[in-house]
Homo-oligomer: A and B are copies of this chain.
């Protein structure tokens, strides 16, 4: 079976939001072969590091935490939509051209996947796009940009989606993936009570999962 990894590698050099050094992962050895005969690593990182999922609590005071997103929403047929030609933002008008159906999990491929550096002008989903996806009652949405929105003071995109229990995956890697249908398997670590969690996300060929 062909497995396509669509996750970002977590390293000290990984892109972080606004290049803020406080968000950078720290990775160090707590045991080494030389001293201890084994190697052990410890890591300090944001819950929003690399490829990760947002839960409602990220943007909604009192919202649900990560463990309340059913895994049934994250092991699903999905569709990759290629928006890598878009320069600024993805709006309802752009999404309408892709004929999105209720219950679809949508992965948005943007020009962000083509760089390993944080792009201060990354392509995002604007409020009209979020409202369109919410009205379509999608299962979930992922994007290969560092975030699903930027420079919207009220965080309207996050709030619209998370307020309707639509999980958001950010920081995917989709440059090597063609537009089309797949099976998504996106598993966050079980960081109970948190508003987000790093995850490993992969694609399998469409039809790989039986019902």
Contact = CB atoms under 8 A, between A and B. Distances in A.
Interface of A: 1, 3, 5, 7-11, 22, 27, 30, 33, 37-48, 50-51, 57-59, 61, 67, 71-72, 75, 155, 185, 187-196, 198-200, 202, 204, 207-211
- Closest A-B pairs by Cβ, 8 of them: A187-B200, A33-B61, A44-B44, A41-B47, A9-B192, A39-B195, A41-B194, A187-B187
A116 to B, nearest CB: 13
A22 B27 contact: no
Contacts of A194: 27, 41, 43
Copies of this chain, complex-wide, total 2
Contact of A1 (B8, B72, B187): B72
A46 B40 contact: yes
Given A67-B9, A189-B10, A38 B155 contact: yes
12 contacts: A3-B72, A37-B155, A38-B58, A39-B195, A41-B194, A42-B45, A43-B194, A44-B44, A50-B190, A187-B187, A199-B200, A209-B210
A202 B9 contact: no
A133 to B, nearest CB: 20
Given A71-B202, A185-B187, A187-B187, A10 B46 contact: no
Contacts of A58: 38-40
Nearest to A3: B71
B75 A190 contact: no
A28 B92 CA distance: 37
Contacts of A191: 10, 27, 41, 43
A46 to B, nearest CB: 5
B189 A71 contact: no
